[in-house]
Every structure is written in C-alpha cells, then in structure tokens.
Amino acid sequence: MTATVLVVDDDAAIRTVIARALDRAGHDVVAAGSLAEMRRALDRGLPDVLVTDVVLPDGNGLDAVASFVRDHPRLPVIVLSAQNTLTTAVRATEVGAYDYLPKPFDLDALMRAVAGALAREGGVPVAPLGEEDAALPLIGRSPAMQDVYRVIARVVSNDLTVLVSGESGTGKELVARAIHDLGPRRHAPFVAINMAAIPRELIESELFGHERGAFTGAQARAAGRFEQAAGGTLFLDEIGDMPMEAQTRLLRVLQSGEFTTVGGGRTIRADVRIVAATNRDLTRAVADGRFREDLFYRLNVVPITLPALRERRQDVALLARHFLDRAAEAGLPRKQLDAAAVALLEAHDWPGNVRELENITRRMAVLSRDRVIGAAEVRATLGGGSPDEVASADIGIEAAVDAFVDRLAREAPDALTNGTLYDRVIAEVERPLIRRMLARNGNNQLRTARALGINRNTLRKRLDTLGIDLDPDDEARPSGPGDR
Ligand SMILES: Nc1ncnc2c1ncn2[C@@H]1O[C@H](COP(=O)(O)OP(=O)(O)OP(=O)(O)O)[C@@H](O)[C@H]1O
C-alpha cells in the first residue's frame, strides 16, 4: 500500500537516506528539517505516518508529537532519537508514539516499523504525559540496553508481570525500580524481598504475613510484603530460590488475586504489580523439576534479559564516569580516568557486572592519590590485595551491613527482633563472597574452598544452605592437575 510519510530530521543526510528507502518501498515522502517546517507540512495535509527526530533546531520533537497525537490519535508516529536513554524511550511511549528507534538506527528496522504502523488497526491509546522528566536510573547506551529500555517503556503503564533475568549485578533490581518509579503506582510503596536471603521456613509468613500465634515466636500479627506493597510494586528477587511449597502458594495468589495470612485464614486482595528476578536459568530449573512450570509462565509474561557487562563493553566508560560523579557527589574527591585506564576497564571481564564496576570505581575514587586515575591504579585495583585496598574494602562492608540492617528495619522490622538477624546478615555477606570466589575459580569447588580457607565439605554444605547452584557443565569441566 502506498502511503505518505512525513520525515522530520534536521540532518539532511538522514532525511535523504530515509526518503530513498521509503521511496524504494513505494511510499511518498514529505521531508521537514524543523518543527516549523513540520507544522507547515501538517497544515498542507496529514501523512499516514510521521517519523520524527527528538532534538530539532527550534524545539523538542517529543513535545510536538504529544500535541500531534492528542489531535490525531489514529496517526502513528515513529520517534528517532540520539538521546539513547531510558527516559527518552519511556517518554516516547508516554506521548503515544507507535514506536521508538534509537539512533544510529537500522534502516530495515525503520522500514519494518513503518510497515507495522501502516498495517495496524485502530489508534494508539494516548497515555498522560509524565509530570516531570524522570531522573536517569539506568546508565547505558549500548544496543543491548536500548532493547531493555524499549521493553521497560512498553510495560510501565500497565500491570503485566515482568520477569527480569541476568547475571548477578547486572541491574535487575534497578530495572524493577525503574518500572515502578515511571509508572502509575509510583506513589505507592516499592517492596523488595530476596528469596535467597530469607530462611526457607519464614518465606511464606514474610510474603503473606502471619497472625498472632501462627508459629512459635509469632507474638503479634505482622503484615507480609504483599500487604506492605499494596497499591505498589512487589519485587520478588532471586525467585529461583523459592521453595516448592511457597511456589505453589504464590501461584494460587497470582491466579486468584487474593492471599491468606499464615495461621489466620484472613483473606486479603493482592493489589500489587509483580516484578520477579532471577540470575539463574529458570527454564532449566523447570526442566529439573525445581521450579513449577505453571508459575514460570505466570511470571514470564514480559521477559527482560539484562546483558552481562562484558556483552556491552561500550557502556563501561559511561558507567565508570557515572560512578565517579556519584562518589564526588557523596563527598569523595572528584577523579577522572585517563584513556589507558578506560581501555583496561573495558577489557576486564566483569564477573560481578555493574556492581563490581561500581565497587572498583568507588575504591579507586578513595585510593588514588592523583586527580586522574591511570592504568597502573586500575591494574592494582582489579588485581586487588594491597593492605590499603583491603582496609577500604572493610569500610565498604561495614557500610553495606549498615545499609542492609537499615533496609530490614524499614521493610521487615520483625527481622530485628525475631532472632533471624544473625543468619540473614551472614547469608547476605557469605552468598556474594562464595559466588565471587566460585566465579574466580571457574566453579571449581576445591580451589574455591582453598581460596576461602574452609574445607570442601563445609563449602558444599554452605552452597546447599544458601541455595547456590553450580552450573553442572562447569562443575564437570576438568580444571587442572591436582585440583579434584
Ligand atoms: N545500568 C545501570 N546503571 C547504573 N547503575 C547500575 C546499572 N546496573 C546496575 N547498576 C548498579 O549496580 C548495582 C547492582 O545492581 P542491582 O542490585 O540492580 O543488580 P541485580 O542484578 O539485582 O543483582 P543481584 O542479582 O546480585 O541481586 C547497584 O548499585 C546498581 O545501582
């Protein structure tokens, strides 16, 4: 079908490239280089599709799109933008754009978007404009992150259940928070619960709450996370670690939309948006019978897979600078990275992903004596181990434990009185430590145990108790003479 497409971009080369491709596809093209030209073109006649850039010489294309979509809700708009941030993706969706393509864009993708826009039926519902430009929670402009932003933008204004997967430290919780903060539930609580950090026998009462006397030690009724998150978002972290019985119960709640408190029979409507996260391959857990298939499908309505940092090395410099800025805002001396330092950071494999980069950067902000951090400092910090560095790591752990206890006090005040605190804090520290050392030692248990200074059986027991799964393929891999 021949259509008229209005293309708005101040870059003449881009206009020409798009016009040629549209022409080849048999469409008529009207081109405009500014908002004023766009308005004049619209006055002459409405196109079938509008393709527009965001930053134009005489104003913001998105604002123009917002009023255009209000007046012509059935006309599809495709937004192109070089400001490849989550905010732009979300705002493009909010103003009612049919699609959003980050620049540099793939011409085929644009042609597919135009074809899709022409083929669709009915108009796009126009969502209200956000009252303020949200802060940028997620840093990264790589294509892999752009894909993530596009999915986030599509889910912020509805209640679909989202399953975020990705290695530890890739930003799964940050994605969950962004979905909450950018959507209509943002004025209600965001409540997180980490399945791996809670003793198995307490998970159901933590989730659904309990009545007085429901079990030994339950001296008063307590609201569970579902109740605390009412009207808001419930983030179920490390969902793969959820025990089977709790999985069955959660599934029932998701199906019926209500839950019952432990030991009480009080039934409460579950008014929460669920975002779950996992750093394991849940399909494998399903195949192994460790995770309910029906629950998996209930949670995996919208999957978001976060790339490992090593799969988006082009974001490393951006992230490192962001963390240095944050350190400076927190009162540490302002530091910069020289080119060799950036190159080394980009070449590193980042088994701990963005969290590791954040810690390394903060450590360098504290330790480096010069204003400009060079390759030698990066090498020393990545290698780790000098007494200075160990001392600074101690400060980090102290702050982390403080933050963890503060969070518990806010989110699960019971935990400070019900005798579980010691186990929770130790698990919180032990789990990342063991995971980190396993990753460093190629999942070899003997080497990991040696590195940790514990015996192998103790390590096995801890893996079991903490619910840390070893990839069986990795375990089977021979890892050097004398290691096994
Ligand atoms: N894209 C990003 N931009 C800025 N900061 C990020 C990004 N991704 C992660 N971070 C930071 O890295 C740290 C780890 O992120 P987060 O806790 O969300 O990871 P996670 O995937 O949930 O980890 P885990 O699986 O271990 O719980 C946080 O301090 C977070 O702010």
Could you say which of 93, 119, 145 is where a domain stops?
A: 119
364-373 pLDDT, tens digit each:
888 887 888 9
Query: Domain span at residue 440?
Result: 393-476
What is the C-alpha R_g of the chain? 26
Pair of tokens at residue 304: 């978001």
The CA 354 to ligand 1 mean position distance, Å, reads 6
pTM value > 0.80: no
Q: Which residues line ligand 1 (CB under 6 A)?
A: 138-140, 166, 168-174, 237, 277, 279, 319, 354-355, 358
Q: Is residue 34 part of a domain?
A: yes
Residues 6 or more apart from 320 whose CB is under 8 A from it? 337, 342, 345, 357, 361
pLDDT band at residue 192 using 50, 70 and 90 as cut-offs: very high
User: What number of other Cβ atoms are within 10 A of residue 177's Cβ?
Assistant: 19
Asked if residue 76 belongs to a domain, the reply is yes
Confidence check: pLDDT of 131 > 60:
no
pLDDT on residue 416: 84
Position 125 in a domain: no
Distance CA 360, CA 368 (A): 11
Q: Is the pLDDT of residue 19 over 70?
A: yes
For residue 60, how far is its CA from the centre of ligand 1 (angstroms)? 31
Task: Give the pLDDT band of residue 283 (cuts 50, 70, 90).
Answer: very high
Whether pLDDT at 121 is above 90:
no
Average pLDDT over residues 237-261: 93
> 273 with 233: CB under 8 angstroms?
yes
Which residue has better confidence, 480 or 66? 66
Q: Say how many domains are in the chain.
A: 4
Q: How many CB atoms lie within 10 A of CB 425?
A: 17
Integer angstrom CA distances of residue 427 from 166, 197, 398, 413, 466? 21, 6, 15, 18, 7
- From the CA of 176, give the closest atom in ligand 1: 18
For 89-117, what is each residue's pLDDT tens digit? 888 887 878 888 888 888 888 888 888 88
Residues 221, 334 within the same domain: no
CATH number where 320 lies = 1.10.8.60
What CATH code is carried by the domain that includes residue 97?
A: 3.40.50.2300
Of 352, 384, 416, which closes a domain? 384
- Asked whether residue 235 is domain-assigned, the answer is yes
Q: Residue 241 above 50 pLDDT? A: yes
pLDDT band at 244 (very low <50, low <70, confident <90, very high): very high
DSSP conformational letter for 129? P
Is residue 49 pLDDT above 50, yes or no?
A: yes
What is the domain-level CATH number for residue 291?
A: 3.40.50.300
- DSSP state for residue 235 in the 8-state scheme: E
The residue whose C-alpha atom lies closest to atom 23 belonging to ligand 1 is 169
Measured between its terminal Cα atoms, the distance across the chain in Å is 67
Residue 413: the pLDDT is: 79
The chain-wide mean pLDDT, for the chain, equals 84
Mean pLDDT for the stretch of residues 115-136: 47
Which atom of ligand 1 lies nearest, measured to the CA of 194? Answer: 27
